[in-house]
A = this chain, B = another copy of it.
Amino acid sequence: MNDRSNETQAARDSNPVLVEVTRGEMVESCHRGAFAVADVEGRIVLSAGDFERDVYPRSAIKPLQAVALVESGAADAFDVDQKELAVACASHQGEPQHVEVVRAWLSRIGYSNADLECGAHLPYGEESAHALIRANQPAETVHNNCSGKHTGFLAVARQLGVAPKGYIKFEHPVQQTILGILEMMSGLDLRGAPRGIDGCGIPQYAMPLGKLALAMARFADPVDQPERRQAACAKVRAAMAAEPMMVAGTGRFCTQVISATGGRVLVKTGAEGVFCGALPELGLGIALKIDDGATRASQVATGAILRRLGVLDDDVAQGLSHLLTPELHNRAGTLVGEVRAAEPAFS
């Protein structure tokens, strides 16, 4: 185990409360965490909590992983369009629109459902999940929320001229290519970082939140990166902005924020309470981690950061109010509380 991780969470100072969950006359639950907003020189322009603490970025860095798809030449070689590039950045809901794009893309590059090593799970989208259950059909790997990303990995493997099998392993050229990009964009030596396995099987490298924010700032504005990477980042950003529905799905936070801001704000959720964001016009990157891993909190906290940065104007914020301060209703439909940002943490 790496030195950086020897210290247990229990021994650490606590991060501030970022999000409160109310019920009636009381705050019932609260979520602590940390975040950093960095510019392309790594300056932290806004933060709360310990942003030097290591986190696994999880699916929040799918846009950075997708940079490899373009930079390797695979996107051009296989005529990857914007929907495909956006679904490579996605934690998608497994709706027909997502599954059809992934299936067609897989088939075009000569692979199938069986080549995806991400495992299968029922679609996150309730309607899509119920449709499968009703039809008595099993969940397939294409329904996995990461199937677009994995299809991208297969395309990179083909482009690199290596056998695709085992493309999720640390030592496979696909993962090594991505590791190189992550190291250069974060400025970290990740080969010695604490390592884990992601929900979909690929390696995860721990990185301090502030450096993750820097990597996202460079994704937003890769001014100090090689030209090839600048072009790749621009292509990935354009795909996310043009096809927000591919990045998540109907009703989802990422899709709605990207869509409502016309792609000026690119956000991506990750498991265990992680969120990343890129603000191309401002050259800023955002990285956030809720200590306890709750998505209800990471979304509301990300919304509060965006409000604080002034990138959601009042009209947009009004339209997103159901995401920024979600109401809680009980089973009979009665309003019982809300999830809200703990204001002091964002001021």
Binding site for B on A (CB under 8 A): 1-2, 5, 8-10, 14, 16-17, 20-21, 23-32, 54-56, 117-121, 130, 133-134, 136, 144, 194-201, 204, 206, 272-273, 291-294, 297, 330-334, 336-337, 342, 344-345
The answer to whether B330 touches A24 (Cβ under 8 A) is no
Tell me what chain A mostly uses at the interface: helix, strand, loop, or mixed: loop
Task: Give the complex CA separation of A319 and B42 in angstroms.
Answer: 50
Task: Give the complex CA separation of A331 and B26 in angstroms.
Answer: 38
Set of chain B residues within 8 Å of A333, measured between Cβ atoms = 119
Set of chain B residues within 8 Å of A27, measured between Cβ atoms = 5, 8-9
The answer to whether B5 touches A20 (Cβ under 8 A) is no
The answer to whether B332 touches A119 (Cβ under 8 A) is yes
The answer to whether B118 touches A331 (Cβ under 8 A) is yes
Set of chain B residues within 8 Å of A204, measured between Cβ atoms = 23-24
Our pick among B196, B200, B273 for the contact of A331 (Cβ within 8 Å) is B200
| CB closest chain-B residue, reference A16 | B10
The answer to whether B331 touches A119 (Cβ under 8 A) is yes
The answer to whether A331 touches B10 (Cβ under 8 A) is no
The answer to whether B272 touches A330 (Cβ under 8 A) is no
Task: Give the complex CA separation of A144 and B24 in angstroms.
Answer: 22
Nearest CB of B to A151, in Å: 15
The answer to whether B342 touches A24 (Cβ under 8 A) is no
On whether A331 and B144 interact (CB within 8 A), knowing A8-B342, A133-B130, A134-B133, the answer reads: yes
Nearest CB of B to A328, in Å: 9
The answer to whether B30 touches A9 (Cβ under 8 A) is yes
Task: Give the complex CA separation of A195 and B28 in angstroms.
Answer: 11
Set of chain B residues within 8 Å of A26, measured between Cβ atoms = 1-2, 5, 54, 56, 194, 196, 206
The answer to whether A10 touches B17 (Cβ under 8 A) is yes
The answer to whether A25 touches B344 (Cβ under 8 A) is no
Set of chain B residues within 8 Å of A344, measured between Cβ atoms = 10
The answer to whether B197 touches A23 (Cβ under 8 A) is yes
Set of chain B residues within 8 Å of A293, measured between Cβ atoms = 21, 28-29, 294
The answer to whether B10 touches A20 (Cβ under 8 A) is yes
Task: Give the complex CA separation of A9 and B345 in angstroms.
Answer: 12
Our pick among B28, B196, B291, B342 for the contact of A337 (Cβ within 8 Å) is B196
Among A23, A134, A333, A342, max chain B CB count under 10 A is at A23
The answer to whether B195 touches A25 (Cβ under 8 A) is yes
Our pick among B16, B273, B331 for the contact of A120 (Cβ within 8 Å) is B331
| CB closest chain-B residue, reference A13 | B14
The answer to whether A25 touches B10 (Cβ under 8 A) is no
Task: Give the complex CA separation of A307 and B293 in angstroms.
Answer: 26
